Amino acid sequence: MKILKDNKGMTLIEVLVSIAIFAIVAIPLLGIFSQSAITSANSKIKTKEATIAQTIAENIKAGIVKDNSDLSKVAEIFEEEGFLPYVEQHVTDSGDGLSQYEIRVSKAGSSTPFYTLYVVAPKTAITAYTPVYMPFSGGSKGNVFDRVVNYVLNLIAIIVIAIWTALFILFVVIPAFGLESIIEVPKLVSTVINLINSGVTNLKAVATKAAESARLTIPWWLKWW
């Protein structure tokens, strides 16, 4: 009986090199995607704050909001979502019946600075409005929900990218280049980082460009789109 022996396989050095390459690639990528998710979330918060400030300003200009009581009714909707509007009227003596209003909006529990809007509108009975919920005091239900959703989405994105990156390196890059992966992998990583820094965070777009830069073809089982 003839026993077939297959001596092909990865040596200990190759395994260690593979692990090192994966660590070099995965750790920066995880940090980049995490920061990208945070930046995206902060951008959405600032956009919402700007919209709220503009809405309050238009209500004051239109005469819908005439005093603190009216303002409280308008602001209550936003406060339930975790956004905290502050309004202060700076009385002027120009005699034209106009006043300058300082409108500030913040997200409870957010580290982003206030969004501030100055607007000139007819003088009203508004003095200074402060929201019921104070910033950074634990937030509202809407704020907690947003934080949980963002955390889950960020975690899922990081896990998906980490798994895809590991499989791509181990089963595509290393078999294609062997020990030369030590040279090729940094180039590929640089391409990915540049794409992310330029605002390209779609997995398909990043993977395609990275594969093209390394002159590689993405196997069908790694096309998760």
Has residue 31 got a pLDDT over 80? no
Quick one: tokens of 213?
A: 């830069």
pLDDT band at 219 (very low <50, low <70, confident <90, very high): confident
Residue 191 lies in a domain: yes
Which of 99, 129, 159 corresponds to the end of one domain?
A: 129
pLDDT (tens digit per residue) in 168-214:
877 888 888 887 777 888 888 888 777 767 766 677 877 888 888 88
Residues 120 and 46 in one domain: yes
Find the angle CA(7)-CA(216)-CA(166) to the nearest 5 degrees.
65
Which of 94, 129, 164 corresponds to the end of one domain?
A: 129
Q: What pLDDT score does 136 carry?
A: 41
Sequence length of the chain is: 225
Range(s) of the domain holding residue 65? 39-129
pLDDT band at 138 (very low <50, low <70, confident <90, very high): very low
Residue 149 lies in a domain: yes
Has residue 115 got a pLDDT over 60? yes
* Mean pLDDT of all residues in 145-156: 66
Lowest mean pLDDT among 64-73, 100-109, 132-141, 216-225: 132-141
Burial 164-181 (b: 16+ CB within 10 A, else e): bbeebbeebbbeebeeeb
Q: 36 versus 170: which is more confidently predicted?
A: 170
Residues 105 and 167 in one domain: no
Residues 107 and 162 in one domain: no
Q: How far apart are CA 16 and CA 18, in angstroms?
A: 5
Residue 22 lies in a domain: no
C-beta separation of 222 from 167 below 8 A:
yes
Residue 160 lies in a domain: yes
Contacts of 224 (CB under 8 A, 6+ apart): 160, 164, 203
- CATH number of the domain to which 66 belongs: 3.30.1300
Residue 14 lies in a domain: no
Q: How many domains does the chain have?
A: 2
Q: What pLDDT score does 100 carry?
A: 87
Instruction: Read off the pTM.
Output: 0.50
Which of 98, 129, 160 corresponds to the end of one domain?
A: 129
Residues 56 and 104 in one domain: yes
pLDDT (tens digit per residue) in 52-109:
999 999 988 888 888 888 888 888 888 878 888 888 888 765 667 788 888 999 887 7
Residue 15 lies in a domain: no
Across the chain, mean pLDDT equals: 75
